[in-house]
Amino acid sequence: MKIVMLGAPGAGKGTQADMIAQKYDIPHISTGDIFRANLKNGTELGLKAKTYMDAGQLVPDELTCDLVVDRIAQDDCAKGYILDGFPRTIPQAEFFTAALAARNERVDYAIDVEVPDENIVNRMSGRRACPACGATYHMVYIPPKQEGVCDNCGAALIQRNDDKPETVLNRLKVYHDQTQPLIDYYTEMGVLKGVDGTKDMKEVFADIVKILED
């Protein structure tokens, strides 16, 4: 079961990927984790990536794909895996499709967690974080007992820059420009499945399970 998760930042795809990984006992793989592991272990691919990162450049698509393919070749991926945050662009998707084809494999499902931009802005702009102990809250869904104050340690809560409406809108624009074409790409491959991400988290998960087990 080889799954690619798609969805805008804040759509909840990471949470769903965790739940799928747990249910089917397959790894939830993010490119961030792969980069960190390769850098920490000083692998040849990791050192190559580091030269770009140290220069403040993006790691090239082909090298990113090599890192992902190296990760999915590991034993814990024998039953499958969920990719979260990769591919981000059409060139990455094309490299990945070719790399899988060389192994006589292909992506089984590309699951798109669909949430309107307006909902995402409301979701993310409601987030608050404690700078002291790291606890997180949401002004609507998980409010602190006292407004603006952390339940755990009493520190004043902050809104992270990433969660400010203008930043969220900018990230959504980048997503639509770069990643939206992937939806067309995987639709043409016949593997795209969309789920309504505005539903309750458990309902979204049930919808995904239905797709995977149909």
Q: Which residues are catalytic?
A: 13, 88, 127, 160, 171
Which two tokens mark 163?
């969660």
Q: How far apart are the C-alpha atoms of 38 and 71, rounded to whole Å?
A: 10
